[in-house]
Structure formats: structure tokens, C-alpha cells
């Protein structure tokens, strides 16, 4: 290599190293920038990041959530009523379907997929719109009265997954926190919006509706299913209590729901 070529090469290497150094410093400076979501909704509402808050809720890093922060009411409304909620739901259901297609079913009718009902198969967004999109203290009695009307529409991506699972040969078990007296209206609502041919619809007998009872109920019912010979291949719901506890299944899939939190 000639002297001139060597000089050119050295200049090129030096320029490249300088560029990398400057780029690295730029990235580091971005990382060091303060994150808006680290402030609280009460201390500085204008700087509070509702997107970061929702991420924290969905990933179970923010727990014991009493209500949606008031400052996030319009954000949650826009999210629930807009395209992003549907797109997020689709990501979950498409991943569930992708996994379901890889499963070789035994053919004995014992391979099941568990699905939650409320805000997993059908949506109560009309109720939330009338009650501040989660910014008000959750009124269980008001929700039960709303559910009694049996008018909740299907979540489109969940309905698509439901039909796909049936075509693949899975048996569907619907496991809900609703109580037994609501069985008829629950079945009617589900059938009216397109859900049919489930293996079982499991409800609670009676009791208070809270985090502890929901989680215990679902764990106990999954245990019964497994002990009776069923294999839980997949499990999907919008709350962590749907997916945690005993016998959650081979794969679990968490649907979005920033309105309320039940662990």
C-alpha cells in the first residue's frame, strides 16, 4: 500500500471513530433525558405521561390501582374508542393463533383453550364511557345492572380468534367471574354477538366480587378441569387474575384493559 493510500485510510478510520463517538454520546444524552412518566399525576399533571402509566398498568408494574388518574381520562377514552385498542388486541390474538397452530391436538376432546368473558370476548366500553373511563371508584352494582341488559358487543379480534380456535379443533372453556344466576343472560349475550359451541361456561356460585375471590375462583376451576383430564393449552384474559395462580395453561395471553385492574 502506498504512502498516499495509507494516509487516506488513516483519515477514514479517524473520521469513522469520531462519528461513532459522537453518535454514542448522542444516544447517551438521550438516555439521560428525564422521563415524563416518573412524575405523579398529582404532583405535576401537565408532565404526567398517560402512555407510560398505561404501560406500567398492563405490565403489572403499577399495582393496587384504585382508579385511572383523572388527568388520563381523555387519553383512556381516546385509546378505548380509537384504533390503537383494536390494534393492541389484534397483536395479542394473532400471537395466540400463531401459537395455537403449532399445537398437535391429541384428538380426544381434552385439549382446551380457556377464555375470560368480560372485556375479553365482549366489551363494556359503553358502561365505562358513562362512568368516567375508570376515573371514578368502581361501582360493582352499577356494572352488574348494566350486564343484566345483555347488550355488550363482541370484541372483533377476540371473536375472530374464537372461531379460529374452534376450526383448529380446540374445545373452548369460558371461565368468568360472573355469578351463576346470570348464566342465561350471559349465554344469550354471547350467542347474540356470535359466540357459539363452547365446551363449558363456568361461573361462580355466589360471593363477593374482588381480587381475592376472582383469583381463587379461577385457580380452583382450572384445577378441577386439569384433575378431570383436560389439558389447558392456552388461556386468554384482560386481567392478571385470569392468568395467574394454579394451572394457568401452557401459554397465557394478556389482552389490554387500562380501565381497571384485578390481580
More confident residue, 39 or 195: 195
In this structure, of 38-42, 141-145, 170-174, the range with the lowest mean pLDDT score is 38-42
The winner for highest mean pLDDT among 20-24, 63-67, 191-195 is 191-195
**C-alpha cell of residue 228:** 378431570
CA distance linking residue 124 with residue 153, whole number of Å: 8
Q: What is the mean pLDDT of residues 7-19?
A: 42
Report the distance separating Cα 93 and Cα 98, nearest Å: 9
Please list, in sequence order, all residues whose beta carbon lies within 8 angstroms of the beta carbon of residue 258, skipping any fewer than 6 positions away: 54, 57, 58, 68, 76, 79, 80, 134
**Alpha carbon distances (Å) from 237 to 2, 38, 162:** 69, 28, 13
> E strand or H helix at 142, and its extent?
helix 140-147
Q: How far apart (Å, rounded) are the C-alpha atoms in residues 79 and 92?
A: 16
Q: What is the percent of the chain with per-residue pLDDT over 90, rounded to a whole number?
A: 71
Residues pairing with 171 in the sheet: 112
pLDDT at 44: 59
Long-range contact set of residues 127-133: C-beta below 8 Å, sequence gap at least 24 = 128/80, 128/259, 129/77, 129/81, 132/68, 132/73, 133/68, 133/73, 133/76, 133/77, 133/80, 133/259
Q: pLDDT per residue over 63-112, tens digit each?
A: 888 899 999 999 999 999 999 999 999 999 999 999 999 999 999 999 99
**Structural domains of the chain, ranges and CATH numbers in brackets:** 2-254 (3.40.50.1000)
Is the Cα dihedral 48, 52, 57, 63 positive or negative? negative
Half-sphere exposure of 76 (CA within 13 A, CB side): 26
Question: How much is the average pLDDT of 195-219?
Answer: 85
Q: Report the predicted TM-score, pTM, of the whole model to 2 decimal places.
A: 0.82
DSSP letter at 250?
S
Whole-angstrom distance, CA of residue 112 vs CA of residue 117: 16
The tens digit of pLDDT for each residue in 146-170 reads: 999 999 999 999 999 999 999 999 9
Q: What is the mean pLDDT of the chain?
A: 85
In angstroms, rounded to a whole number, what is the distance separating the alpha carbons of residues 212 and 263?
Answer: 8
Cα pseudo-dihedral 74, 86, 65, 47, rounded to 10:
-40
Q: What is the pLDDT of residue 69?
A: 95
Amino acid at each position: 500500500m502506498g504512502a498516499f493510500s495509507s494516509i487516506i485510510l488513516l483519515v477514514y478510520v479517524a473520521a469513522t471513530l469520531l462519528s461513532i463517538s459522537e453518535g454514542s454520546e448522542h444516544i447517551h444524552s438521550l438516555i439521560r433525558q428525564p422521563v415524563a412518566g416518573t412524575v405523579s399525576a398529582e404532583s405535576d399533571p401537565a408532565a404526567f405521561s398517560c402512555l407510560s402509566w398505561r404501560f406500567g398498568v398492563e405490565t403489572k408494574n403499577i399495582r393496587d390501582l384504585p382508579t385511572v388518574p383523572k388527568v388520563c381520562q381523555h387519553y383512556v377514552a381516546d385509546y378505548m374508542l380509537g384504533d390503537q385498542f383494536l390494534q393492541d388486541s389484534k397483536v395479542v390474538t394473532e400471537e395466540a393463533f400463531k401459537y395455537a397452530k403449532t399445537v398437535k391436538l391429541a384428538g380426544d376432546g381434552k385439549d382446551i383453550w380457556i377464555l375470560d368473558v368480560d372485556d375479553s370476548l365482549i366489551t363494556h366500553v359503553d358502561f365505562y364511557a358513562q362512568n368516567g373511563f375508570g376515573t371514578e371508584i368502581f361501582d360493582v352494582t352499577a356494572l352488574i345492572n348494566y350486564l343484566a341488559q345483555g347488550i355488550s358487543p363482541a370484541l372483533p379480534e377476540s371473536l375472530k380468534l374464537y372461531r379460529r380456535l374452534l376450526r383448529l379443533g380446540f374445545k373452548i372453556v369460558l371461565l368468568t367471574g360472573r355469578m351463576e344466576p346470570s348464566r342465561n343472560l350471559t349465554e344469550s349475550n354471547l350467542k347474540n354477538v356470535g359466540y357459539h359451541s363452547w365446551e363449558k361456561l363456568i361461573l361462580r356460585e355466589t360471593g363477593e366480587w374482588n381480587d381475592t375471590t376472582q383469583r381463587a375462583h379461577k385457580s380452583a376451576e382450572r384445577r378441577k378441569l386439569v384433575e378431570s383430564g383436560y389439558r389447558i393449552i392456552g388461556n386468554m384474559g384482560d386481567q392478571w387474575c385470569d392468568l395467574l395462580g394454579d394451572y394457568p395453561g401452557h401459554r397465557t395471553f394478556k389482552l389490554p384493559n387500562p380501565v381497571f385492574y384485578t390481580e
